[in-house]
Structure 1
Amino acid sequence: MRLLLNILWAILGGGIVICLEYLLGGLLLCLTVVGIPFGVQCFKLAGLALLPFGKEIVDAPGSNPIGCVLNVFWLVVAGVWIFLSHLALALPLAVSIIGIPFAIQHVKLAMMALTPFGKHARET
């Protein structure tokens, strides 16, 4: 069932487009030394955006103060906007019964995009 939902997500839910956007953002951020940690988070989000079904977001063990500072910087610069864009995509999908699973995945991505440092996706 996960495979079918991931295929439908990639085609109909916009998973490929979102993944490519995160990959492009990650590549651009990795062009600078300062942006490399943020680019790595974009790559992590790209993987989750491509195949979100069957994954859950968990806190990484041993979060450090540097990750907290990076989360604050990410939140101010990009996190809020990415969060709002995922919610804007989730709301119209939640209207129909067929779109509810896709809306849930957008909310999952929104929560990960809000503060990605110290979190990772794992198989359920």
Structure 2
Amino acid sequence: MRVILNIIWLVLSGFWMFLAYMLAGVILCIPIITIPWAIASFRIGVYALWPFGKTIVDKPTAGVGSFIGNVIWVILAGIWLAIGHILTGVAMCITIIGIPLGIASFKLVPISLMPLGKDIVDVGGSRAFPAR
């Protein structure tokens, strides 16, 4: 089922959001100081291309630096990418078949706003649900 959802996602939204993240990453590579945000943009772009079967978890080592970096990210590119996810999510929710895809688009909004301090892991992966 994940493969079918990912293929439909790729055609309807994934490829376009992937291009948006890649464009943001390339633009953020121009000034050298913003390269860490560009790397985050590339990482999330690959996740936005094929999201089903993966999940987001918090990094245990994330701290104040991640928070400050996320504030800068929101100003530089995050708000525009989040708006893109919201618009595509609303468009997909118009049909009953598109509702799961719209929900997936809405689930990408938090990471598009605050990518630093997060990891993208496989749902069945050992890091997805760490033992405490």
Task: Find the aligned partners of 2:101 and 2:110 in 1 and give their Cα distance.
Answer: 14
Encode CA deviations 1:70-123: one digit per residue, 9 max, x unaligned: 111112332223222211211121232111111012112211101111012111
TM-score of the aligned structures, taking structure 1 as reference length = 0.90
Corresponding residue SS for 1:58? strand
Aligned twin of 2:96 = 97
- Is the 2:24–2:77 Cα contact (8 Å) retained in structure 1? no
Matched residue count: 123
Q: CA deviation at 1:27?
A: 2.0
Match in the other structure for 1:4:
4
Asked if the contact 1:60/1:119 (under 8 Å) is kept, the reply is yes
Instruction: Find the counterpart in structure 1 of residue 86 from structure 2.
Output: 87
Q: Identity of counterpart residues, as a percentage?
A: 37
Structure 1 position 7, deviation (Å)? 1.1
In structure 2, runs of 5+ residues without a counterpart are 124-132
> Mean Cα displacement is larger for which, 47-56 or 26-35?
26-35
Q: For the residues of structure 2 that align with 1:28 and 1:39, how far apart are their CA atoms?
A: 8
Within-5 A mapping of 1:20-99: 20-99=19-98
CA distance in 2, matches of 1:21, 1:45: 11
Q: 1:45 touches 1:109 (CA, 8 Å); kept in 2?
A: no
Could you tell me which residue of structure 2 aligns to residue 117 of structure 1? 116
TM-score, normalised to structure 2, is: 0.85
Can you give the 5+ residue segments of structure 1 that lack an aligned partner in the other structure?
A: none
Question: Match for 2:6: what amino acid?
Answer: N
How far, CA to CA, are the matches of 2:45 and 2:75 in structure 1? 20
